[in-house]
Amino acid sequence: MTDTAEPTAAAPGRLDGKVTVITGAARGVGRSCALAFAAEGSDLMLVDVDGEVPGVPYPLSTVSQLDHTAEMCRREGVEVLTATADVRDLSALEEVRDVVLSRYGKVDALINSAGIVAPSGSPVHETTEAEWELLLNVDLSGAWRTTKLFAPLMAERRSGSIVNIASTAGLVGYRYFAGYVAAKHGLIGLTKASALDYAPMRVRVNAVCPGNIRDDPEMEGRMLSEVARALDLLADGHQELFTEQQPMNTLTDPADVAAAALWLACDASRHVTGTAIPVDAGYTVR
């Protein structure tokens, strides 16, 4: 017997028709978020610095990594734009905003994933002023700049979601990471204050606080390796050492962080704002 039934149409994605801007999108958590949002139907503007930043002691993302992220997302059938911009540069971010508005006329979600973990590895009194200012400028002020530019666009439409990728370092302290800890605590403060500023306009602002994230080769992330380097841990054994610190005896995957960001960006969390959600295998419960 010949089956003449019509093929079943694919179920609509949770973000069909939406436009999302993601910073730090070339690799790591930013890439994972981009893939998750593309799979749910969102068109994307992917932003990364794509070059070295003086004072950061490890290689940052490249243009080829950003292009690779974009190509992976296009396979989901969504439109993807890319832009090279440093989150320390307001004028560069203004250009990104203008491109998004010119192409789409709106922004529905902003994912602030751009960040650095070093220069770190020293006690407070050995931290230089330049190191301190660099960490705060990227990890805290970068999210302030993008919020400053994109939140008003959402407020005009009385709809939108901003998700700041913070850290468990925004909830607890870590020895020898004062600049990073201060920046991430500040990012959670920015999240809460922004949530109140924009709540009347139905724009939600939340934070996701990852714990130790596995360096997934497919995502090309290296944050855990850089934390280990800053602490002078053996390269071959650092993953096991970090795993032992987790109550669930496992590291967090980039996809776990992306799933939380996706939930905060879609309508399923429409009454959630001002929160800081740990995705840390129980680390901050202790």
> Is 180 among the catalytic positions?
yes
Bridge partners of residue 163, in order along the sequence: 111, 206
| Catalytic-role residue among 58, 104, 176, 180 | 180
β-pairing, 276-279 vs 160-165, is unpaired
CA angle 216, 222, 228 (to 5 degrees): 115
Q: Which residues contact 276 (CB under 8 A, 6 or more apart)?
A: 166, 170, 171, 188, 191, 192, 206, 207, 208, 209
Whole-angstrom CA distances from 203 to 145, 151, 156, 239, 243 are 17, 8, 10, 38, 36
Catalytic residue set: 180
